[in-house]
Amino acid sequence: MKKLLLKVSFLSLTSLAFAQNQAPENWFNLDYSTNKVHGVSTERTYAELLKGKTSKTIVVAVIDGGTEVKHEDLKDVIWVNPNEIPGNGIDDDKNGYVDDINGWNFIGGAEKDVAEDNLEVTRLYTKLHAKYGSIDTLLLDGEEKVNYEFYKKVKESYTKSFTQYESINNIYKSLISGIKSLRNGIGKDDVTIGDLKSHRVANKNEVIAANALINVMKNKSGTIKLSSIQKEIEESGSQIAKFVDFHYNTEFDPRSIVGDDYENVNQRYYGNNRVYGPHGDHGTHVAGIIAAMRNNQLGMMGVADNVKIMVLRVVPDGDERDKDVANAIRYAVDNGATIINMSFGKSFSPYKSAVDEAVKYAQSKDVLLVHAAGNDNKNIDVEDNFPNDKMNGYDASNWIEVGASSWKPKKLLTAEFSNYGKASVDVFAPGVDVYSCIPESKYESFNGTSMAAPVTAGVAAVLRSYFPHLTAAQVKEIILKSSIKIKGKVLIPGSNKKVKLSELCVSGGVVNLYEAVKLAATYPVK
């Protein structure tokens, strides 16, 4: 889930009125030696190291919220199940999934698909509160006492977050009302800071909106367009409202749409083949970063040039569920994927053991898992972020955890939102202002470790494509060893303190395809 800042600030809206620095086009594929940005050197690699080399088509599974398979830049790289006859209503390949042509949707039912869902903390709070909300704690001992302490932790997290979002939701409503009122009262759309200061405010909401706009325009000249600001605030407000209406709403539960026995984590065959889903922006963007066509003169260029994208939908607008994640991993492994990208995460995982078993299964089949570290600028060595490869001493050598880096100057190399961890995050990769595909054959720049993971998955895909003898563990080893080690210090995400990048991740580096290919070429074919 993408983090929304728990404060109301109009600073992000200044782009509507004032020019901002722009990321270099295609920056995540560029090379530092020639372009002075820490991209992954994709273009240089194809031009200098891979030109004329043969490669093997491999399948990369994108476990996400859905992907537009007919996008102009993706339609030719979408995986097609060779053993399934489209639309005949028969499970031709007998894998348990009927008409799974491009993948599978684990959060859909016969007629509808899950769009919004709770956060995991809400689901846990709802379940545990029913049991422990009015219990006499003096009667508890042993395991029940441990469970009650966990309930208190969940309750504290839920109550704090719900209260914050409810307050923010009310503020957004006031801002929207105030801006509408200002437009009518001032009588024009383009206003200066003088217009706002001289206007006689008519109500409390106008006061809130005028003060916020004046704060944005402080020390700036020119005008600001109220209609544009209103539109931006309404869009942000609609996202905030979802937290109150769906994510933290204990009375909302859409799982009945799916029709499965949710508590049965061993159940595997449910869902439908509608892999696009109601919200395809995120998954389409991720797929584009990995594999958007490089030779069609359209839109943008992905990292990998010879892969097929298998689409697996498990992420709603809310938190994914462990059962679905585990089943998606198993589906990907069983149907030929050798790399799985997972750009999602959450703070609680009640059925983590099911996901862990799926990860172990993937490792047994030599499948590499690439996971986004998360966008809460927290140290995940000490704070929970799921799924992860922490399995009571079990070494998941097929797992890469990825933080986000930026195109900005060296000290700002780490994205301010990125999670980090000296032991838990393996490497950083481009995740700021990354331009890629979105539905309706359009393109847009997104921020997030959700973007950094597919950049890394794309690099891994190139390695497995051009060096098919490499194992998943070797690909991970190569990516970490060949990462560009950053000299000097960088900012700890969300902080003004600077440290070496080696204090924020295992490798101390940023993913680099050029160096990875050079290193991969030294690994002998066995």
CATH of the domain at 425: 3.40.50.200
Mean pLDDT to the nearest integer, 82-92 = 96
Between 403 and 24, name the one with better pLDDT: 403
Identify whether residues 222 and 184 lie together within a single domain.
yes
Of 197 and 22, the structure prediction assigns the larger pLDDT to 197
- Cα dihedral 472, 475, 476, 480, rounded to 10, equals 180
What end-to-end distance do the CA atoms of the chain give, in Å?
41
Number of neighbouring beta carbons within 10 Å of residue 196: 22
Question: Across residues 328-338, what is the average pLDDT?
Answer: 98
> Average per-residue pLDDT in the chain?
93
pLDDT at 137: 78
Is the same domain home to 340 and 450? yes
Residues 130 and 73 in one domain: no
For residues 323-330, give the mean pLDDT.
98
> Do 287 and 424 fall into the same domain?
yes
The pTM score is 0.93
pLDDT at 19 over 50: no
For residue 3, is it within any domain? no
- Asked if residue 20 has pLDDT above 60, the reply is no
Q: Verify that 231 and 347 share a domain, yes or no.
A: no
Residue showing tokens 């999670």: 419
| Cα separation, 347 vs 368, whole angstroms | 23
The pairing of strands 368-372 and 399-405 is parallel
Give the span between the Cα atoms of 372 and 494, in whole angstroms: 17
Write out the H or E segment, with its range, that includes residue 232.
helix 226-242
Count of the separate structural domains present in the chain: 2
Residues 411, 440 within the same domain: yes
At 176, is the secondary structure helix, strand, or coil? helix
38 falls within a domain: no
Q: How far is CA 326 from the centre of its chain?
A: 17
pLDDT digits (tens, 9 = 90+) for 24-48: 889 999 999 888 899 999 999 999 9
The share of the chain scoring above pLDDT 90, in percent, equals 84
Query: Are 133 and 231 within one domain?
Result: yes
Are 284 and 375 part of one and the same domain?
yes
The answer on 140 and 191 residing in a single domain is: yes
Give the pLDDT of residue 444. Answer: 96
Asked if pLDDT for residue 15 goes beyond 50, the answer is: no
* 248 alpha carbon, distance to own chain's centre: 20
- Residue 2 confidence (pLDDT): 40
Tell me what pLDDT residue 223 has: 86
Check whether the bond before 387 is cis (ω within 30° of 0). Answer: yes
- Domain membership of residue 130 (yes or no) is yes
> What pLDDT does residue 263 have?
93
Q: Please state, in angstroms and rounded to a whole number, the distance separating the CA atoms of residues 411 and 488.
A: 8
The secondary structure of residue 65, as a DSSP letter, is S
The residue range of the domain holding 421 is: 56-117+270-469+488-498
Q: What percent of the chain has pLDDT over 70?
A: 95
Confidence at 504, pLDDT banded by 50, 70, 90:
very high
- pLDDT of residue 293 exceeding 60, the answer is yes
Give the per-residue pLDDT at 21: 64
If asked whether residues 446 and 345 sit together in one domain, one would say yes
134 in the same domain as 86? no
Is 521 inside a domain boundary? no
- Return the pLDDT at 8: 42
> Minimum mean pLDDT among 50-59, 266-275, 402-411, 452-461: which range?
402-411
Determine the average pLDDT of the residues in 71-86: 97
* pLDDT bucket at 279, cuts 50 / 70 / 90: confident
Segment 191-225, tens digit of pLDDT: 998 999 999 999 999 999 999 898 888 766 778 88
Same domain, 421 and 299: yes
Q: Judge whether residue 18 has pLDDT over 90.
A: no
**The Cα angle at residue 410 between residues 458 and 418, in degrees rounded to 5:** 55
What tens digit of pLDDT does each residue of 417-476 get?
Answer: 999 999 999 999 999 999 999 999 999 999 999 999 999 999 999 999 999 999 999 999
Asked if the structure places residue 16 within a domain, the reply is no
User: Is position 254 within any domain?
Assistant: no
Q: Is residue 228 part of a domain?
A: yes
Q: What pLDDT score was predicted for residue 220?
A: 67
